[in-house]
Structure 1
Amino acid sequence: MATLIVGGGIIGLSTAYYLSETQDVVVVDTAPELFRCASGRSGGYMSRLWYGPEVAPLGKLSFRLHAEAAAAHDGAAAWGYRRTTAWSIKSAGRRPETEYAEERLPKDGAMPPWVFGDPAESYVLDGEDDCAQVNPRLLCEHLYRTCVARGVRIIHPCVVESVAGTKAVRSATLRHLVTGAAETVSIGAVVFATGAWTADAFKRALPAASYTPPVSALAGFALVLSSPRVPYVGTDAPVDPDAHPSTDVAYYLDAPAPSAEPQASAIDVTQALFVRPAAGESWSPEIFLRANGEIFYAGLNEASYEPPVIARPAPAYTKDPLASSRQSATFASALAAMTEAAIIAPGRNKFDAVLESARNLLGPDVSVLRRSVCVRPVTPSGDPIIGLVPPERAAGLANVYVCAGHGPWGISLSLGTGRVMADIVTGQPVSADVSALAP
């Protein structure tokens, strides 16, 4: 029987990617268009080493699998895979705009040339052996296409209303959100990999379970920028940073350019900057230069942000999950009020603060290409939850798994997580020790 994966983001698709090598897989997601949240809108920075002892084996496995996948499928062109140099810099604080009369770059050229002015301190954290960079949406699209080619059934927008069986999982009832129609599928296992929505999805499908995955949402406000000091070969035109659209579907503010073609390359070796704030600054920017020359600028988070949930019948929508066009006017109109209330209104000052920081560090002439709210799934421990839920905590059902809570490391840990989850579900030797991460 098939394995049902609840969640079509980077973790769900990575699990489907490896499971589909040996068995049938069904993936269900509530989103009208996939990859419109953390899976497609995060920074895409990947590390081999930056984990605690419980996660370290998974981190090393995943970093290796990312490198192998890029080598096998031309990830450099397909999803912007690059080895990266990571810098730690200390902000020099806010400067008067008059100080930008000319660039004040370090004389030895050690700092990336797209940093506009001298930081107070700087040093290299990691070199190319230990960190890398991808465009996360393009990586998701590669996983999606590979899964579909293998026969994986990906259903969305759709919600899992219930999971049932006697002693073990045997079926699931799905509700298609466009038509409202119900469907029952035969399954032998279910994996909940729904990111920040994992607790809600789990309790909806298994209301009698005593266990609830302790996964909550941490919203990050990000800008994607271009700079005249970096060759940019992307296709997005700058947007007005003072304009706040209110008709886009939840999770994005600005839609990305089409990405069906291989990604053009402007950068051979990408760079990452982790900024330590100066006195009086309250947050730490994280800045990633991508292969096409765009700069991802983030680091300002909001723990009280409540991500919107789509779990009801909806009007017609664009059926191509990889299309970057806007949703239909009817669907966008239906969500406009929710989007304004849940994303734009509380995010106005956040985006303004991110842009002010970017102009201070990268120069007042940077252009805004996209804005996004990246909703990351976090746990109280800071570590992901990966493994089998004991039957006594899953309403007496065996073969119920949870795979969520990766925080800022979802992209980095994605392929390793998918490989390990496939091992666990199929009863194979586990490729990395994740026993400390079990539910």
Structure 2
Amino acid sequence: PLKKWFDLLSNDVSKSIKNLLEKICKNQQETSYQINQDSMDYQLFFKPLIHEQKTCEIIGYIYQVGALEKQIHPTEDKLSILSNMTHEIRTPVNAIKGYSELLEETDLNDTQKEYLDHLQDTSKHLLKIVNDILDYSKLEAGKMQIENKPFKIKKLLDEVHSMLIEQTKQKQLYLDVMNIDCPNTVIGDAYRIRQILINFVSNASKFTEIGGISLTCYVDHKISENQLMIHFKVKDTGIGISEKDIHKVFKAFDQANESTTRLYGGTGLGLNISMKIAHLMHGDITLESKVNEGTTFILSVPLEYNPITSSIETALDKKPRLGSLILLAEDNPLNQKLSKRILTNLGMKVVIAHNGFIATTQDKDKHFDLILMDLQMPVMDGYEATRIIRKRHPNVPIIALSSESLYDQKENLIANGFSDAIEKPVDPALLLSTLIKWIPED
């Protein structure tokens, strides 16, 4: 379709784009290009796919500048449409990501491992873009909510480290993580704090060629008897940011300069989103930087601390009840196989229902220890199926599954009869902790 569209362009514009594509092949850098055709402005984006240091293909997309704004005025309508669009994108990408993780556990030769690494990196990058767009839209619409729950700081720091250590190793950078006298368990939104820290460390890795990155957590001061101001500091030895460009860093769709976007990629939304989330948590982000010396980002966030929450840690030593019968209500065949494989590996017995209606009939014949319920299914969705099952079995744990972010929807889901909620693709560790919570070992 893009080629047919090129055929309609004027010779000068068509020639310019072809020259641009040739440069992309040589330079191997993402590039954007704006043109005017028939009194309409269009923005084109191109990204080279590189294999064995050669450009094997160029992917691109085009949109009419201002078209979305002209057609959709209310912010909530934008959010609804973007939410539906991102759901349609996330579902297949999540399946790719999930199956690539299963494939990683099989015997692969070196070439296959290299291809798999590229596949995983690409799917993660695409998911981040989709999530950034949806988060930005939620923040603009005032729909993002902060969830305060107990979490372990050490576990959060370890997760950030494990998610980004390979990225830093590829560039031969160090990634040090330090926890200086922070309480073990605090109350706050671990998901959003982790999101900000991953953004900080990922950016630091992107803009650092020599040296490395340190992530440090420490208590700045005590706010009250049960609340601490905790700082998460990410410091790198990268290229730094000039004083005249620092004010641009937190603006949406902006980076220190345009060449940064071309050279390093990204949506230009990450730090803007991070700042807005920090403010929602009644915190802040500060930035210090010197050109050619490095950059330091500090997330300051007030977190509650209660010694009682330490009892939660004992749950980490527990296991789910082996042999438990699980009903998996999921219409997507790929997600069915992926979730069943994970559950089986955890020692569970699994019955699959292809839609909500089948789930309600299966529930009549068998007593399930736990139900995993997809929200969006044909014939009958997860909400209606849950209402029907709840009338017969008010105490069975029903866990909502969705490819959309659930961190600001859990209260609504619980009000609709669900016991808990987790996101797809199903993370084995998160699923395990959910099983431990709802069907613990006797």
Q: The TM-score by the shorter chain falls in which range?
A: under 0.3
Structure with the higher fraction of residues in helix conformation: 2
Larger Rg: 2
Q: TM-score normalized by structure 1?
A: 0.23
